[in-house]
Chain A
Amino acid sequence: MVRVIVEFSEGKVKPVRFWRGMREYEVKNVPMIFERSDGGRKYMCFAVDTGGMMAELAMDCQSYQWSVVSCQSND
């Protein structure tokens, strides 16, 4: 589980900042938003660019809990 600050705008949600461990990351760009299903459970997934790292944040559409699905540094 991770802590995420989101922005609600024009009926849409977008992650703005998140913490993973002790580190804080600012989301500079969200190049893709898509939905995953796991059985009947739906997750809204955000590919985010923090400048130094690409990550995928997933929000459980039922519980609104966030998780980091993957992380990749840009080198």
Chain B
Amino acid sequence: MIKTILHLDMNSYFATAEQQANPYLRDKPVGIIKAEGRGCVIAASVEAKKFGIKTGTTVWEAKRLCPQIVLVPSDMDKYFALTQRMIKILADYSPTLEVFSIDECFVDVTETQKLWPGGAWQMALELKQKIKVDLGEWMKCSIGISFSKLLAKLASEIKKPDGLTFLTPENYLDETEKIAVSEVCGIGRSRTTMLQSMGVTTLGEARKLPGLPKEIGDLVWLRNDDGMTAVGDLEPAKSVSRTFTTFRVLSTKCEVLKLVRNLIEEACMKLREMGMVGRTFCLNMDGFWARKTVNSPTDDPLIIFDMLNREYERNPVTEVRQAGICITNLIFNFQFSIFKQRVGLLKVVDKVNEKYGLFTMYPGVLLGSELIRPEVTGYLGDKYYRFGSGQK
């Protein structure tokens, strides 16, 4: 049976959300940055994109391309709140929904489209209208409809912003002739470079090449048909990690260790929230890397910090701007000894932070430093806990 998959992609999501919240930014070139003084644009409005500004453009380059650009610090809580509302709207159209990222969703409407006289096309038009009514009149989305996820995603990219494109089995090859190979999900930088070295930039040109490797040929001919990873199919995380790039270089050991401790506290809070413990702990910084695996799994930040600190002391790097913690070998529902007082203490701390806000209680060693707080990422790596069976 031929499937009908809908791909919804919010246009210039972060920037549009800020323009929705602040009408005085509408029709102006807006660039979203991580924070004041940070180096890169992480999202650009439709108006800013006309000047050639895109994700990854440095701030100085953005100002050079468009001196009148308005730079706005990102607000991930706001964008994620809108995403949750978007998902609720989509769930009214099909129970089979895959949250691909903070601004993209796949919806399998193969069966439910029969409830609409105009089928998937009418559903899509209605969806666009509902998004505008519920999220805001400035929020626009592009929708692609086709018989596979790959094609649906490509279809949504054909017309932006505010597009609606249907790729049928009859027209999809013709309609995708002029699309750049780099636009295809699955053809990344190295494959694009390889194809460009063969004189190919579009799918039409790539299809004329003989002897392409099967994986690339399938992508060029758009034959891939991955199944939906619906909300109910999401799996628990295999790792918990937290990385942070600081504003300025950390030039003392004390500053570096404070950052590491902060990241470990955050990662462990996440572990305890998920009801998991870990056995392998990795610390990664500019010019430093260490990994330790223990027999007794733990979610105690003090134990993990002590362990990684001993490794750090063997080669105490400074002049650091980026640090990352990764906890793997995760286990569910591990039972600690009832005599361990730290377990009880951490439970109380979690309860206080749950009731009064994150980091209401935190280790004294972090006093005096600006606390780095958890935030939603665009990729939504913790979908299982935000939307799936792990949700509280």
A-side interface residues toward B, CB under 8 Å? 29, 31-32, 34-41, 45, 47, 49, 54, 56, 72, 74
Contacts and interface: CB of A to CB of B under 8 A. Distances in A.
B136 A38 contact: no
Given A32-B17, A39-B357, 12 more contacts: A29-B23, A31-B136, A32-B78, A32-B136, A34-B82, A41-B354, A41-B355, A47-B21, A47-B22, A54-B24, A56-B21, A74-B24
A39 B77 contact: no
Contacts of B354: 39-41
Nearest to A47: B21
A65 to B, nearest CB: 13
B78 A40 contact: no
B21, B77, B356 — most chain A CB neighbours (10 Å): B21
Contacts of B77: 34, 36-37
A23 B81 CA distance: 31
B352 to A, nearest CB: 9
Given A31-B136, A34-B81, A39 B356 contact: yes
Contacts of A40: 354-355
Nearest to B357: A38
B87 interface: no
A32 B24 contact: no
Contacts of B22: 31, 47, 49, 54, 72
How large, as a class, is the contact surface on chain B? Answer: 10 to 19
Contacts of A38: 357-358
Contacts of B82: 34
B23 A49 contact: yes
Given A37-B77, A39-B360, A32 B20 contact: yes
A32 B21 contact: yes
B353 interface: yes
Interface of B: 17, 20-24, 77-78, 81-82, 85, 136, 353-358, 360
B357 A41 contact: yes
14 contacts: A34-B78, A34-B85, A36-B78, A38-B357, A39-B353, A39-B355, A40-B354, A40-B355, A41-B354, A47-B22, A49-B22, A49-B23, A49-B24, A74-B24
A31 B77 CA distance: 17
Contact of A35 (B23, B81, B136, B353): B81
A32, A38, A49 — most chain B CB neighbours (10 Å): A32
Contacts of A37: 77
A51 to B, nearest CB: 11
Contact of A39 (B20, B24, B358): B358
A38 to B, nearest CB: 4
Nearest to B392: A40
Contacts of A41: 354-357
A40 B358 CA distance: 8
A70 to B, nearest CB: 9
A39 B361 CA distance: 12
B159 to A, nearest CB: 26
Contacts of A56: 21
A34 B77 CA distance: 9
A74 B26 CA distance: 12
Nearest to B81: A34
Nearest to A75: B24
Nearest to A73: B24
A12 B20 CA distance: 20
